[in-house]
Structure 1
Amino acid sequence: MEVRCPSCGRLYSSFIPPRCSCGEPLRITYDYDSVEVSAWEKRKPGVWRYRELLPNVPEVTTLHEGGTPLLRAKLGEELGLKVFIKDETRNPTGSFRDRLITVAVSYGLPYAQNGFVVASNGNAAASLAAYAARAGRKAYTVVPKMIESGKLNQVVAFGAKVLRYGESVDEGISYAEGLAEGRGLYNVTPESNLIGLEGQKTLAFELWEELKPTHVVVPTGSGSNLYSIYKGFTELRELGLLEEMPKLIAVQAEKCSPIASEVLGTEPKAEPTKALALYVKNPVMKELALEAIHESGGTAVLVGEDELDLGEKLLAREGIFAEYASAVIVPALLKLAEEGYFEKDDRIALIVTSSGLKGHYAETREKFAIGGTKLEILRLLGERTMYGYEVWESLRKPLKYQAVYQHLRELESLGLIREAYRRGRRVYYTLTEKGRRFLETLSE
């Protein structure tokens, strides 16, 4: 492994910063002439299968990450396209960040006598907590105030220290850097650790072995995964294994679009989104992500908040439960297909980055627990405005009318119904827009 500044030529060894002292991002290269690709086939699937293109480490800390399934998508058949899903939810802690953390922790052990630190909006924090526990080292996780409870539960369960800081992960990055310097911690924050990104690039190696894709659709927050995949493909090209670079497609939420808007020429936004893992207002790796998109001949897609449930539902039909930040890939695919972006023989890989089990959405209960009487009430109110006694009569079930009012109160608390008007003591209910969307989702 060699780490040299592409601008001033300065050579780095041992402790590797993300940028050269001259300000230029550093690049990691290898002796590609000495790599024997045939050796990969003799090893079991996983990140460390490709160790010739990974940093040398004193000891591998692994939970058997990588080697995740590639599934043929039923949705692709409906679209008349060859679509495949790379299911990163099957990594040890349920996300693609395990690829990064196994390499960063393994490399950082000699520098982590006091422990590790990471700034993360959830997935990298959960991953570090697990791998640090495995390595017998302390872990400090700097997480924003807005974080899904599933990820936070993982961090706590693995015994890591939780430090809540800032509204988004952007604010935590510099805080984590200060902690690393002040407390002698090894910083594995993706935006601050080039070594870890080497682990993420193995996603590209697996895609090449399994599919040789023409297009790769990637949920994009900080841009680190997009760039890592790009670096993996450039190294395959360096090895003479790849003739044409797959087109990389970045997908962002309309509410937070600093990278995609740059590509599409639209006004960027930096607002909170339900796809919390994509809520990165000022991505440190923006320029590298843009390089990956432009050099691969790819593009970007923006996805609205109202499209996230559809994406999640369609992935669930494939047998994959993904968090909203991963679900964006499905509406992105549908938009590009509708525009005629793909050719019939293209091989399209969708990257599902993280499990839905790690998220906690306000709508979880209504999406997966509402049924029976509540669902019947919603359907009745979808037809017309009604008051409680009318609902009870229309249900035609052996149910006390007081129970119906309890259901109405609970549906109102979930934001699925609201009071339309009153006539005397009668309160008439109707569906909210959210309730109407919920019913439409079920009927699709």
Structure 2
Amino acid sequence: MRLRCPSCGRIYSSLIPPKCSCGEPLDVTYDYESINTSRWGRREKGVWRYRELLPDVHEIISLHEGGTPLLHARFGDNLGLNVFIKDETRNPTGSFRDRLITVAVSYGLPHARNGFVVASNGNAAASLAAYAARAGREAYTIVPKLIEGSKLAQIVAFGAKVIRYGESVDEGISYAEGLAEGRDLYNVTPESNIVGLEGQKTIAFELWEELNPTHVVVPTGSGSNLYSIYKGFNELLRIGVIEEIPKLIAVQAERCSPIASEVLGVEPKAKPTRALALYVKDPFMKGLAVKAVEESGGTAVLVGEDELDLGEKLLAGEGVFAEYASSVVVPALMELADSGYFERDDRIALIVTSCGLKGMGAEGRERFTVGGTKLDILRLLSERSMYGYEIWEALEKALKYQAVYQHLRELESLGFIAESRREGRRVYYRLTERGRRFLEAFSLQRKGFKASLKS
């Protein structure tokens, strides 16, 4: 492993800052001419399978991360495309951050006299908590006030110390740097530790071995995963095993879009989103992430809040339970497919970064109980506006009409239906755009299921 500033030539040794003293982002390089990729196939799947392109460490702290499944997506067939899901929910703590943390903790162990620290909006904090526990060291996690309770519970369960700071992860990064210096902790925050990012690039190596994709669709918050994947493919290019880097597609929530907006040339937003893991207002790695998209010939997509349920449902129909921040890849895929962006023989990989259990809030149960009678009501309202008693008669089910009003209240609270008009005491309901997309998701699942039966 070589640590040299590409601008001024300064060489770094063990404790590595993310930027050189001259201000240029540092790069980790290797002796690429000596790499023999045939060795990888003889080893167990996982991050450390690719150790020739990872930092040297004295001891590996591992929970068997990496080597995650690549699944064929049936909803891609409905679009006439070859789509595959890289299921990072199968990592030990349920997210892609385990790839980063195994490398960062293993490398930082000799420097972590009093433990480790990370600033994170949830996933990296949960991962550090687990790997620090495995290493027998203390973990300090700086997390924002806007964090899902399930992630917080996971962090606490592993015995990490939790410090709530700021509204978004951006505000915690400098706090973590100060805490690391003041308490002699090793900082594994992705924005402050380029060594850990080397672990995330192994997603690219696995994709190359299994698929050699033409396009990779990446949920993007801080931009670190997007850049890491780009770096992995760039190294494969330098080794000579691929001829070109796949097109990288950055996907962000419309409400928080600093990277995607830069790529698309539109006004960025920095508001909270239900996809909380993507809520990074001023990403440290924005420049590198934009460079990754542009140099790969890729693009970016903005996803609305009303499209998150659609993505989550379609992934669930494939057997993958993803949090909202990962689910954005599905509506992004559909938007690009509708615009004719892809060719029929393209090989498209969707990176699903984190498990849905991590993002499950109070509304989580309702998101997955919209079936049966509620679905029938949505189908009726997709044809025309109706009032409660009229819906009850049309259902032709053995249930009290008062139960229909309960279903209507629940569907309204989920944003699937809304009041259309009033005629006297009658309240007419209509299907919202969000409800329509929800129905489309079920329609796509049924088509895929019927197609699989015929084949």
State the TM-score, normalized to the length of structure 1: 0.91
SS of the residue 1:351 aligns to: strand
Q: Deviations over 1:274-329 (max 9, x none)?
A: 11111111110011111111111111111111222111122122221111111111
Hey, what does 1:188 align to over in structure 2? 188
Alpha carbons 1:89, 1:355 under 8 Å: kept: yes
CA distance in 1, matches of 2:442, 2:211: 34
Hey, what does 2:56 align to over in structure 1? 56
Hey, what does 1:291 align to over in structure 2? 291
1:174 Cα shift?
Answer: 0.9
In the alignment, does 2:103 pair up with 1:116? no
1:142 Cα shift?
Answer: 0.9
Hey, what does 1:257 align to over in structure 2? 257
CA distance in 2, matches of 1:303, 1:227: 20
Hey, what does 1:337 align to over in structure 2? 337
Alpha carbons 1:101, 1:196 under 8 Å: kept: yes
1:33 Cα shift?
Answer: 2.3
1:440 Cα shift?
Answer: 3.2
Q: Deviations over 1:131-174 (max 9, x none)?
A: 11111111111111111222112111111111111111111111
SS of the residue 1:62 aligns to: coil
1:428 Cα shift?
Answer: 4.6
SS of the residue 1:12 aligns to: coil
1:435 Cα shift?
Answer: 8.0
Which stretch has the larger CA shift, 297-306 or 55-64?
297-306
Hey, what does 2:178 align to over in structure 1? 178
Residues 36/437 of structure 1: CA separation in 2 closer, same or farther (3 Å cut): same
Alpha carbons 1:378, 1:435 under 8 Å: kept: no
Alpha carbons 1:415, 1:432 under 8 Å: kept: no
Q: Deviations over 1:76-127 (max 9, x none)?
A: 2222222221111111111111100000011111111211111111111111
Alpha carbons 1:146, 1:168 under 8 Å: kept: yes
Alpha carbons 2:81, 2:344 under 8 Å: kept: yes
Alpha carbons 2:86, 2:350 under 8 Å: kept: yes
SS of the residue 2:348 aligns to: strand
Hey, what does 1:82 align to over in structure 2? 82
Residues 215/398 of structure 1: CA separation in 2 closer, same or farther (3 Å cut): closer
Residues 328/419 of structure 1: CA separation in 2 closer, same or farther (3 Å cut): closer
CA distance in 1, matches of 2:108, 2:67: 23
Alpha carbons 1:419, 1:427 under 8 Å: kept: no
Residues 155/434 of structure 1: CA separation in 2 closer, same or farther (3 Å cut): farther
Alpha carbons 1:248, 1:297 under 8 Å: kept: yes
Alpha carbons 2:415, 2:435 under 8 Å: kept: no
Hey, what does 2:146 align to over in structure 1? 146
Residues 374/300 of structure 1: CA separation in 2 closer, same or farther (3 Å cut): closer
Residues 386/300 of structure 1: CA separation in 2 closer, same or farther (3 Å cut): closer
User: Amino acid of the residue matched to residue 440 of structure 1?
Assistant: L
Alpha carbons 2:306, 2:434 under 8 Å: kept: no
CA distance in 1, matches of 2:434, 2:2: 56
CA distance in 2, matches of 1:408, 1:77: 34
Alpha carbons 1:68, 1:88 under 8 Å: kept: yes
Q: Deviations over 1:158-213 (max 9, x none)?
A: 11111111111111111111111111111111111111000001111111111111
Which stretch has the larger CA shift, 169-178 or 433-442?
433-442
SS of the residue 2:300 aligns to: strand
Hey, what does 1:101 align to over in structure 2? 101
Which stretch has the larger CA shift, 344-353 or 8-17?
344-353
Alpha carbons 1:381, 1:429 under 8 Å: kept: no
Which stretch has the larger CA shift, 308-317 or 412-421?
412-421
1:417 Cα shift?
Answer: 6.7
Q: Deviations over 1:261-284 (max 9, x none)?
A: 111111111111111111111110
Q: Deviations over 1:316-362 (max 9, x none)?
A: 22221111111111111122222222222222111111111111245
Alpha carbons 1:367, 1:438 under 8 Å: kept: no
CA distance in 1, matches of 2:210, 2:262: 32
Residues 70/411 of structure 1: CA separation in 2 closer, same or farther (3 Å cut): closer
Residues 158/337 of structure 1: CA separation in 2 closer, same or farther (3 Å cut): same
Hey, what does 1:65 align to over in structure 2? 65
Question: Where in structure 2 are the equivalents of 1:39-438 lying within 5 Å?
Answer: 39-361=39-361, 363-371=363-371, 386=387, 428=427, 430=429, 433=432, 436-437=435-436
Which stretch has the larger CA shift, 331-340 or 213-222?
331-340
1:243 Cα shift?
Answer: 1.2
CA distance in 2, matches of 1:83, 1:261: 25
Which segments of 5 or more consecutive residues in structure 1 lack a partner in the other structure?
A: none
SS of the residue 2:258 aligns to: coil
1:414 Cα shift?
Answer: 5.7
Residues 411/253 of structure 1: CA separation in 2 closer, same or farther (3 Å cut): closer
User: Amino acid of the residue matched to residue 107 of structure 2?
Assistant: Y
CA distance in 2, matches of 1:398, 1:317: 29
Which segments of 5 or more consecutive residues in structure 2 lack a partner in the other structure?
A: 444-455
CA distance in 1, matches of 2:102, 2:113: 17
Alpha carbons 1:83, 1:347 under 8 Å: kept: yes
In the alignment, does 2:28 pair up with 1:28? yes
Alpha carbons 1:248, 1:299 under 8 Å: kept: yes
1:402 Cα shift?
Answer: 7.2
1:408 Cα shift?
Answer: 6.5
State the TM-score, normalized to the length of structure 2: 0.89
CA distance in 2, matches of 1:87, 1:439: 23
CA distance in 1, matches of 2:15, 2:439: 54
CA distance in 1, matches of 2:132, 2:245: 35
Hey, what does 2:439 align to over in structure 1? 440
SS of the residue 2:153 aligns to: helix
Alpha carbons 2:313, 2:441 under 8 Å: kept: no
Count of residue pairs brought into register by the alignment: 442
User: Amino acid of the residue matched to residue 9 of structure 2?
Assistant: G
Hey, what does 1:12 align to over in structure 2? 12
Alpha carbons 2:378, 2:439 under 8 Å: kept: no
